[in-house]
Chain A
Amino acid sequence: MRARKMNNVNYNKDVSYLEYKGKYSGLPGWIFSTDHKRIGILYLVTMLSFFAVGVSFGFMIRLKLLFPGNAIISPQTYNSFFTLHGVIMIFLFIIPGLPAVFGNFFLPIMIGAKDVAFPRINLLSWWLFLTGGLLAITSILLPGGPADTGWTFYIPYSVRTGTNVIFTMFAAFVLGFSSILTGINFVTTIHRLRAPGMGWFKMPLFPWSLYATGWIQILATPIIGITLLLVIIERLFRVGIFDPSLGGDPILYQHLFWIYSHPAVYIMILPAMGVISEIIPVFSGRTIFGYRFIAYSSLAIAFFGSLVWAHHMFTAGMSNTGQFIFSLLTFLVAIPSAVKVFNWVATLYKGSIRVEPPLMYALAFIFLFSIGGLTGLMQGALSVNIQIHATSFIVGHFHYVMFGGTGFGMFAALHYWFPKMFGKMYNIKRAKTAFWFLLIGFNLLYFPMLIMGWLGMPRRYYSYLPEFQPFHVASTIGSWILITGLIILFANLIIALRKGKIVTEKNIWGGETLEWQTATPPIVENFEEIPVVESGFYEYKQNNIQLVEEDINK
Chain B
Amino acid sequence: MENIPEQNQKKNNTGYTKYILVWFALIILTGLTVSLAGMDLGRITVATALLIASIKSSLVLSVFMHLKSEQKAFKVFVLVALFFIVVSFVLLFSDYSSY
Whether B88 contacts A306 by the Cβ 8 Å rule is yes
Name B84's contact: one of A219, A251, A255, A318 (CB within 8 Å): A219
Q: How far is the CA of A219 from the CA of B84 in the complex (A)?
A: 8
The 3 closest A-B pairs by CB, nearest first: A322-B95, A321-B98, A319-B98
- 15 additional contacts (CB under 8 A) given A307-B88, A319-B94: A215-B80, A219-B81, A219-B84, A251-B95, A255-B92, A259-B92, A306-B87, A307-B87, A310-B91, A310-B95, A318-B95, A321-B94, A321-B98, A322-B95, A322-B98
Within 8 A of B (CB), among A234-272: 251, 255, 259
- Residues of B that sit less than 8 Å from A by CB: 73, 80-81, 84, 87-88, 91-92, 94-96, 98-99
A320 at the interface (CB under 8 A from B): yes
Query: Per-residue 0/1 for A215-233: is the Cβ within 8 Å of any B Cβ (1 yes, 0 no)?
Result: 1000100000000000000
Q: How far is the CA of A306 from the CA of B99 in the complex (A)?
A: 23
A160 at the interface (CB under 8 A from B): no
Question: CB-CB < 8 A to B80: which residues of A?
Answer: 215, 219
Whether B95 contacts A321 by the Cβ 8 Å rule is yes
Q: How far is the CA of A318 from the CA of B97 in the complex (A)?
A: 11
Q: How far is the CA of A306 from the CA of B92 in the complex (A)?
A: 12
* Secondary structure class of chain B's binding surface, majority of residues: helix
Counting chain A CB atoms within 10 Å of each CB, the highest count among B81, B84, B95 belongs to B95
Whether A319 contacts B95 by the Cβ 8 Å rule is yes
Q: How far is the CA of A326 from the CA of B95 in the complex (A)?
A: 10
A345 at the interface (CB under 8 A from B): no
Question: CB-CB < 8 A to B94: which residues of A?
Answer: 319, 321-322, 325
- Residues of A that sit less than 8 Å from B by CB: 191, 215, 219, 251, 255, 259, 306-307, 310, 318-322, 325-326
Question: CB-CB < 8 A to B98: which residues of A?
Answer: 319-322
Q: How far is the CA of A219 from the CA of B73 in the complex (A)?
A: 16
Name A325's contact: one of B84, B88, B91, B96 (CB within 8 Å): B91
Task: Tell me the nearest residue of chain B to A310, going by C-beta.
Answer: B95
Q: How far is the CA of A531 from the CA of B80 in the complex (A)?
A: 32
Whether A321 contacts B92 by the Cβ 8 Å rule is no
Q: How far is the CA of A319 from the CA of B73 in the complex (A)?
A: 38
A317: min CB distance to chain B, Å: 10
Task: Tell me the nearest residue of chain A to B80, going by C-beta.
Answer: A215
Whether A319 contacts B96 by the Cβ 8 Å rule is yes
Whether B73 contacts A191 by the Cβ 8 Å rule is yes
Task: Tell me the nearest residue of chain A to B73, going by C-beta.
Answer: A191
Counting chain A CB atoms within 10 Å of each CB, the highest count among B87, B88, B99 belongs to B88
Question: CB-CB < 8 A to A306: which residues of B?
Answer: 84, 87-88
A191-B73, A219-B84 known; A320 vs B91 contact (CB < 8 Å): no
B98: min CB distance to chain A, Å: 4
A190: min CB distance to chain B, Å: 11
Counting chain A CB atoms within 10 Å of each CB, the highest count among B81, B91, B92 belongs to B91
Q: How far is the CA of A321 from the CA of B95 in the complex (A)?
A: 7
Task: Tell me the nearest residue of chain A to B92, going by C-beta.
Answer: A255
Question: CB-CB < 8 A to B96: which residues of A?
Answer: 319
Question: CB-CB < 8 A to A251: which residues of B?
Answer: 95
Q: How far is the CA of A329 from the CA of B91 in the complex (A)?
A: 11
A288: min CB distance to chain B, Å: 26
